[in-house]
Amino acid sequence: MSKIPLAWLQLTREKSRMIVAMAGIAFSNILMFMQLGFEGALYDSAARFHTTLKADLVMISPRSKSLAYMRQFSSRRLYQISGFEGVNSVSPVYVDFADWKNPVNADYRAIFVFGFEPEKPVFNLPEVNQNLNKLKLPDTVLFDRSSRSEYGPIAAQFERDNQVLTEISNYRIKTVGLFTLGPSFAADGNLITSDQNFLRLFRNRRSGEIDIGLITLKPGVDKQKVLNNLVAKLPKDVRILTYQGFIEFEKEYWRTSTPIGFMFALGTGMGFIVGIVIVYQILFTDVNEHLAEYATLKAMGFTDNYLLRVVFQEALILAIFGYIPGLGISLGLYELTKFATFLPIFMSASRSVFVLVLTILMCSISGAIAVRKLRAADPADIF
């Protein structure tokens, strides 16, 4: 009897029921994959700008919450550390929102603007570094070609005419180059310009008030030691982070200070519960319909543990066969979402394994609930 694939035979006997179960599990997987994908895209897109910066340490205001909610601090604090042991150079960065005027339909839309000193390149973006001299000219900006289409066909127009004229906050500017960064949940588009052009666009900003201070250390120095030294000697009106700490600072804001992270986690949990309910209904129906056969096996001497293993084998088979189409459809939806939103959504190995584990756990829980009736079955009652 141990050589007979009883679990497989029972599932394939009712092919329509098995297909329905697989579809339900696949649907549950798609829900979990999409919620986890959106959550990952949220964190990755929020930290896109951070990952392009060239720095070992980062100085910000302790009142800053995220890139969208930066608070200014005095640039004197940044230049004050130039003489500290181990510090090689410092660079200020300005960040703010502006109203971009679509040159085609004259609609306005908020856009991120980043300003820096062209003499001190701070971006790991080749297209930005190739256009540093152009940014030194007045009223010039670089436009993110991955920005949403609501800003207008800027990339196509620039490639045709080598420049695009429009307005930012009622100030006339010229697009003199393109770069690739991408939108986030905080902003749909990005501009990069020089510090002087930034201050022309934002007349209420003073040059001595900056948003981010980038600190580059000398080769071979102990970063943690320099960081501890700066934290100990600088006043508490600034905060020093490592490069990775600055990235985590942004992700932590979206994870804990906004409802979005909770919503995606809740959506994943709902997909998990939906899968449990679907698989339970399938397995319970199967057990109930074959209760007489199970009782016969009990009467023949087969133990409860053997019969429970059969049900759990059914759950495992359903988990695997439902997971495969769920994964395939999710990969297609990821590509569709990436094309439609320009968000960095992709399938990682860790996520695919995590959902597989959740699927097996989901089906195991369903099987554990469904076998309660089987355990209580008494052959004398059946016959």
* 3 has pLDDT over 60: no
Alpha-carbon gap, residue 71 to 64, rounded angstroms: 5
Q: How much is the average pLDDT of 180-202?
A: 92
Q: β-strand 171-179 against 140-144: which pairing, if any?
A: parallel
Contact by Cβ (8 Å): 175, 141? yes
**18: burial class by Cβ within 10 Å (0-12, 13-18, 19+)?**
buried
Tokens of 318: 């359903």
Residue 78 neighbours by CB distance under 10 Å: 20
Q: How far is CA 375 from CA 115, 282, 369, in A?
A: 69, 17, 11
Supply the pTM of this predicted model: 0.80
* pLDDT tens sequence across 227-244: 999 999 999 999 999 999
Q: What is the pLDDT of residue 1?
A: 43
Task: Identify the CA nearest to 177 among candidates 158, 160, 153.
Answer: 158
User: CA–CA separation, 369 vs 161, rounded Å?
Assistant: 67
Residue range 263-282, pLDDT digits in tens = 888 888 888 898 888 888 88
**CA-based nearest residue to 372, from 306, 304, 274:** 304
Quick check: 33 pLDDT over 50?
Answer: yes
Computed over every residue of the chain, the mean pLDDT equals 88
